[in-house]
């Protein structure tokens, strides 16, 4: 599982930062990728990476401000020209259906694949045998969501040495220990599979938040995350500005991350008022409260 930042700026593109888009690489887990937000020129950013749009089968939109959705019609259209045939599902606030259907219709774009649009509310919005995705409302000027992605625990490794010690040697029977509760051996003995399976492998948990004021009451939603991705549009001395524009500061989010006991914090959605020389100071502000903090730049990747 890997997170790649295609755009890390706030509001409008700058020379150093494009607007928001994040890709969760699940190629090893399910041979797909999930995208979170799709700001202007996201498809151009993709050209500088190994990401293949045809591998993106889910897009999660945090909110409908332009710097988070203006790249979506272009990406959907280009996906058709890049070998995309598999269905794609888009999750987002009320209004995302109208935005997509209107832009696709007016531009007379022809998609080569089925598209499903789900307008969301709080709670579980997707679940299968591998993952659960939960949406949580935030506090922004318009409806905005955070998404928590929980990978389910997987079965532990087969204890091969123990099997051999008990006279159970490699063969098709080994697969039965992973799929069946009880296994009948060649001599008729019935054994419990769990005796030959190691501890379950704990799944990873990631949360990717849209634009928001800091919310203390979301600490339970963030608890024990392997990775929290959160906006930090402003510096710690700009709390009033952040409040007025429904955003967060470096200090505020780092403090919350510490209370939520997350393992890693990555800050993004950085105001264009900050230049490259300012980033070290922003990082230092956050690290005063949560040491394992990184401020993402465009094309930055983090492997979980």
Residues catalogued as catalytic? 67
Q: Are the CB atoms for 119 and 100 separated by under 8 Å?
A: no
Which residues lie below 8 Å from residue 237, measured CB to CB, with a gap of 6+? Answer: none
Q: Are the CB atoms for 254 and 289 separated by under 8 Å?
A: yes
DSSP secondary structure code for residue 156 in this structure = P
Select from 39, 46, 41, 42 the least CA-distant residue to 11.
Answer: 39
Which residues lie below 8 Å from residue 293, measured CB to CB, with a gap of 6+? Answer: 254, 257, 265, 266, 267, 283, 286, 287
Please report where in the chains the tokens 């935030």 appear, as a residue.
Answer: 138
Phi (first) and psi of residue 18, to 5 degrees: -80, 170
Q: Which residues pair with 58 in a beta bridge?
A: 34, 89
Give, to the nearest 10 degrees, the angle between helix 279-287 and helix 250-260. Answer: 40
Cβ burial, residue 81 (10 Å; 0-12/13-18/19+): exposed
CA–CA gap between residue 138 and residue 212 (Å, rounded):
6
The separation between CA 74 and the C-alpha centre of its own chain, rounded to angstroms, equals 21
Handedness of CA 11, 51, 25, 143 (dihedral sign): positive
């Amino acid at each position: 599982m890997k997170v790649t930042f295609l755009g890390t700026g706030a509001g409008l593109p700058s020379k150093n930062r494009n607007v928001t888009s994040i890709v969760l690489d699940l190629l090893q887990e399910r041979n797909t990728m999930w995208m979170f937000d799709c700001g202007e020129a996201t498809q151009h950013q993709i050209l500088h990476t190994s990401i293949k749009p045809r591998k993106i089968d889910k897009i999660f939109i945090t909110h409908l401000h332009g710097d988070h959705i203006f790249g979506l019609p272009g990406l959907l259209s280009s996906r058709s020209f890049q070998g995309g045939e598999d269905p794609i599902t888009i999750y987002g606030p009320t209004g995302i259906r109208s935005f997509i259907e209107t832009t696709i219709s007016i531009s007379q774009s022809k998609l080569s694949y089925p598209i499903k649009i789900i307008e969301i509310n709080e709670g579980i919005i997707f679940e299968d045998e591998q993952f659960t995705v939960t949406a949580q409302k935030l506090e922004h000027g318009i409806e905005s969501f955070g998404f928590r992605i929980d990978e389910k625990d997987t079965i532990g490794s087969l204890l091969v040495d123990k099997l051999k010690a008990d006279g159970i040697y490699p063969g098709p029977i080994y697969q039965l220990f992973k799929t069946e509760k009880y296994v009948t051996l060649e001599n008729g003995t019935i054994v419990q599979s769990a005796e030959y399976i190691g501890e379950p492998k704990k799944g990873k948990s990631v949360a990717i938040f849209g634009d928001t004021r800091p919310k203390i009451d979301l600490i339970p939603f963030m608890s024990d995350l392997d990775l929290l991705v959160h906006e930090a549009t402003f510096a710690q001395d700009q709390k009033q500005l952040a409040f007025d524009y429904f955003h967060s500061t470096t200090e505020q989010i780092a403090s919350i991350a510490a209370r939520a006991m997350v393992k890693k914090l990555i800050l993004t959605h950085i105001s264009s008022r900050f230049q490259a020389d300012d980033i070290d100071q922003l990082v230092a502000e956050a690290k005063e409260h949560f040491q394992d903090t990184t401020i993402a730049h465009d094309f930055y990747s983090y492997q979980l």
